């Protein structure tokens, strides 16, 4: 089966989705083992200032080294982790592992980076989520301002307002919040005004629409206007070429991510890039 998960990738678990309970359970068991046997790894993708080409942050993206199936991307297993609630301990592991890495980077006197974490709605609607999050940061001596949480519009609508309450608390503590995949959900302008967010992150599908032959107005323009009107930052994911970069820059997009600059990579490769750069000046030299 080819599952439409937005990555055009082959999804070996789609049988589990359509088929018997036992195959679903086997994935669940595999995920449980993955936690126990340390098969997960956090990769990092650069987030770049589109004007200076300086790396301003990293997004933590989960990878799974399955002993038989090899490298597995989150699109193929996060939904099972969410259904089974295993995303809660998995999410805790991602936070812990990212903090450990970040502490290592900060010892190297690298420029201060902002780290984005993807948070599942299942995590966010837990009553003790905020407390656990803050305790983890304190344990590692990391300031809250280092983190940005990425949540989706649908995620914020869950749990009888618990998700929004939790996010609001985290924001008061100094953590910033981005609405991920923005434009794919269905939030009304009025709910958007009430969400505790700092940034709208334009979904990749809209960035992909930026081509040579653009219509007079496209979705990206509309999102940019919304961000401006609501006084929010605008970020973009899935930037793959200079045309898209230029276009987003003109719309006032303050941070971009995409294969144009680089894919997500293991921590050591990330550290190499960060430490082999001059203290000032761009991290990337792009052709004109
Ligand atoms: P996302 O948060 O929207 O992350 C962006 C995805 O787009 C990532 O896929 C990234 O590798 C990919 N991407 C970035 N730039 C480009 C580009 O220029 N072109 C293309 N084609 N793709 C690009 P990835 O790493 O496979 O993650 C997929 C989704 O899985 C993420 O979407 C996020 O929603 C979820 N995810 C990843 N890590 C975690 C995690 O630790 N916890 C939770 N709950 N979800 C996670
Ligand atoms: Mg994201
Ligand atoms: Mg996300
Ligand atoms: Mg996204």
Read off the pLDDT of residues 96-126 as tens digits, 9 standing for 90 and up. Answer: 999 999 999 999 878 789 999 999 999 999 9
Residue 278 in this model has a pLDDT that exceeds 90: no
Residue 6 in this model has a pLDDT that exceeds 60: no
pLDDT at residue 7, rounded to an integer? 43
Q: What is the pTM of this model?
A: 0.92
Whole-angstrom distance, CA of residue 121 vs CA of residue 157: 9
Write the CB contacts of 95 (distance below 8 Å, at least 6 apart in sequence).
Answer: 117, 133, 136
Q: What percent of the chain has pLDDT over 70?
A: 90
Whole-angstrom distance, CA of residue 174 vs CA of residue 196: 12
CA distance between the termini of the chain: 41
8 A C-beta contact, residue 45 and residue 236: no
To the nearest 10 degrees (0 to 180), the angle between helices 87-107 and 21-36 is: 30
Task: Report the DSSP pairing between strands 255-256 and 55-66.
Answer: unpaired
* Ligand 1 atom closest to Cα of residue 123: 44
Closest residue to atom 13 of ligand 1, CA basis: 238
* Ligand 1 atom closest to Cα of residue 152: 34
Read off the pLDDT of residues 119-173 as tens digits, 9 standing for 90 and up. Answer: 999 999 999 999 999 999 999 999 999 999 999 988 888 767 899 999 999 999 9
61 lines ligand 1 (CB under 6 A): yes
Task: Tell me, in angstroms, the distance from the centre of ligand 3 to residue 163's CA.
Answer: 15
191 or 32: which leads in pLDDT: 32
73 lines ligand 1 (CB under 6 A): yes
What number is the ipTM of this complex?
0.98
Read off the pLDDT of residues 247-274 as tens digits, 9 standing for 90 and up. Answer: 999 999 999 999 999 999 999 999 998 8
pLDDT at residue 288, rounded to an integer? 63
58 lines ligand 1 (CB under 6 A): no
Residue 25 in this model has a pLDDT that exceeds 90: no
Burial of 105 (0-12, 13-18, 19+ CB in 10 A): buried
Whole-angstrom distance, CA of residue 7 vs CA of residue 264: 14
Both tokens of residue 98?
């990212």
| Confidence band of 5 (pLDDT split at 50, 70, 90) | very low
Closest residue to atom 2 of ligand 1, CA basis: 118
8 A C-beta contact, residue 25 and residue 19: no
Whole-angstrom distance, CA of residue 52 vs CA of residue 62: 28
Radius of gyration of the chain (CA): 19
Residue 9 in this model has a pLDDT that exceeds 50: no
Whole-angstrom distance, CA of residue 1 vs CA of residue 4: 9
89 lines ligand 1 (CB under 6 A): no
Ligand 1: which of 78, 82, 126, 151 to mutate, most ligand atoms within 8 Å of CB?
78
| Confidence band of 190 (pLDDT split at 50, 70, 90) | confident
pLDDT at residue 193, rounded to an integer? 86
Read off the pLDDT of residues 193-252 as tens digits, 9 standing for 90 and up. Answer: 888 999 999 999 999 999 887 776 788 999 999 999 999 999 999 999 999 999 999 999
What single string gives the DSSP state of each residue in 71-140? EE-GGGTHHHHHHTTTHHHHHHHHHHHHHHHHHHHHHTTPPP-EEEEE--HHHHT-TTHHHHHHHHHHHT
40 lines ligand 1 (CB under 6 A): no
276 or 232: which leads in pLDDT: 232
């Amino acid at each position: 089966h080819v599952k439409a998960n937005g990555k055009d990738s082959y999804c070996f678990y789609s049988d589990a989705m359509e088929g018997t309970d036992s195959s679903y359970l086997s994935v669940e068991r595999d995920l449980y083992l993955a936690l126990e046997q340390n098969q997960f790894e956090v990769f990092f993708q650069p987030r770049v200032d589109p004007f200076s080409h300086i790396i301003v942050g990293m997004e933590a993206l989960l990878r799974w080294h399955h002993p038989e199936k090899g490298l597995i991307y989150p699109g193929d297993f996060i939904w099972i982790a969410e259904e089974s609630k295993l995303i809660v301990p998995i999410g805790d592991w991602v936070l812990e592992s990212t903090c450990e890495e970040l502490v290592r980077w900060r010892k190297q006197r690298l420029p201060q980076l902002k780290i984005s974490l993807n948070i599942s709605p299942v995590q966010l609607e837990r009553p003790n989520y905020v407390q656990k999050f803050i305790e983890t940061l304190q344990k590692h001596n990391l300031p809250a301002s280092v983190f940005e949480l990425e949540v989706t519009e649908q995620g914020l609508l869950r749990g009888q307002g618990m998700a929004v309450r939790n996010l609001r608390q985290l924001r008061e503590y100094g953590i910033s919040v981005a609405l991920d995949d923005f434009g794919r959900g269905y939030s009304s302008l009025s709910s958007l005004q009430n969400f505790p967010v700092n940034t709208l992150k334009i979904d990749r599908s809209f960035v992909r629409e930026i081509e040579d032959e653009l219509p007079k107005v496209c979705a990206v323009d509309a999102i940019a206007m919304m961000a401006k009107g609501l006084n929010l930052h605008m970020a973009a994911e899935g930037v793959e070429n200079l045309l898209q970069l230029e276009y987003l820059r003109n719309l006032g997009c303050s941070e971009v991510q995409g294969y144009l600059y680089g894919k997500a990579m293991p921590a050591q490769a990330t550290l190499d890039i960060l430490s082999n750069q001059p203290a000032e000046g761009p991290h990337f030299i792009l052709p004109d």
